[in-house]
Amino acid sequence: MGLTTQVQPVMLPVKGDVVDNDTAEFYDYWGIDNYCSPKKVADVLNAANGAPVTVEIASNGGDVFAGSEIYSALKQYPGKVTVNVVGLAASAASVIAMAGDTINIAPTAQLMIHKAWSGVEGNADDLKHESGVLSSIDQSIAAAYEAKTGISEPDLLQMMSTETWMNAKEAVDKGFADSIMFQGEEQPQVMNAVGTTVVPKATLNKFRNMMMKLADKERPQKKAASKSAILLRKKLSILRGDKDEH
C-alpha cells in the first residue's frame, strides 16, 4: 500500500495596503514591501499552479478596484483557497476575504465593512455623477458579501452605511466567516505512542500565534537594518539635492 503525499498549501499574505499595480511600483522603488497588489497575488497563484493556497489577511484595505481584481483572481483559482483573517480585514481587504472557499478568523481579529468614498471637486453635476458612481461601487462590494453570507443587498448596504465592525463570533454568526481559528483545543488528542512526547495542540496553537506576531514585528525592523535602508537614504539625499560626501 503506497503512501499518500500531502501537498502543503502555498502561503499568500495580504498585509498592509491594498494597492493597484502602478502604486506597487512606487512602493517597490522606495523599499516598502508591506503591501498587496493584483500582480503580487497573480505571481503567487501562477507559481502555485493549482496547489492549495492559504491567504493570511491583516490589512486596513485600500484601492477598491485592486481589491476587486484580487477577489476575482482568488475566485477563479482552480485550487482550494483558505482565508485566515489573523488581524484586521477592513474595507477592500474584507472583500478579498470573501473569496475563500473556507474563511477562518482568529479570536482576536476583526472584520469591518463600509461604503466606498472618494475625493472629488467640481460643480453640482460633477458631484451628482460621483455620487452615482459611488453608489454603483457600493452595490458591487455588497455583491461579494451577499454571495458569501446570503444577507440581502439592502441589509448589507445599511451595514456598510453605518460602518459595521465584527469580532470573530459576530463574523461567524452573520456568515462572513465559517469558523473561529484555534477552537476545539479541548477535544481529546488521540495518541499512539509510548510516553508523552507529542506537544499538546493548545501549546502548538499558542506557539503559532506568537510566531505570527513576532514575524509581523520583526519584518520591518530587519528591513530597516538592511541595505534597503541605506538605499532609501541615498534616494532621499538625491531628492533633497544634497552634495556628494567624500
Residues 173 and 233 in one domain: no
What percent of the chain has pLDDT above 70?
Answer: 71
Specify the DSSP element, H or E, that contains 237.
helix 227-240
pTM of the model: 0.73
Q: What is the CATH number of the domain that holds 53?
A: 3.90.226.10
pLDDT at 246 over 50: no
Residues 26 and 101 in one domain: yes
Is residue 136 situated within a structural domain?
Answer: yes
Last residue of a domain, which of 131, 160, 183? 183
Residues 112 and 33 in one domain: yes
pLDDT band at 185 (very low <50, low <70, confident <90, very high): low
Q: What is the pLDDT of residue 70?
A: 98
Residue 82 CB: number of other CB atoms within 10 A? Answer: 17
Is residue 3 situated within a structural domain?
Answer: no
Residues 234 and 119 in one domain: no
3-state helix, strand, coil in the chain (%, to 5): 50, 20, 35
Which pairing describes strands 164-167 and 10-18: parallel, antiparallel, or unpaired?
A: unpaired
pLDDT at 128 over 60: yes
Residues 142 and 20 in one domain: yes
pLDDT at 14 over 70: yes
Range of the domain at 209: 190-246
Residues 208 and 97 in one domain: no
Structurally, the chain folds into a number of domains equal to 2
Residue predicted with more confidence, 180 or 117: 180
What percent of the chain has pLDDT above 90?
Answer: 61
DSSP state at residue 112: E
Residues 172 and 219 in one domain: no
Residue predicted with more confidence, 208 or 8: 8
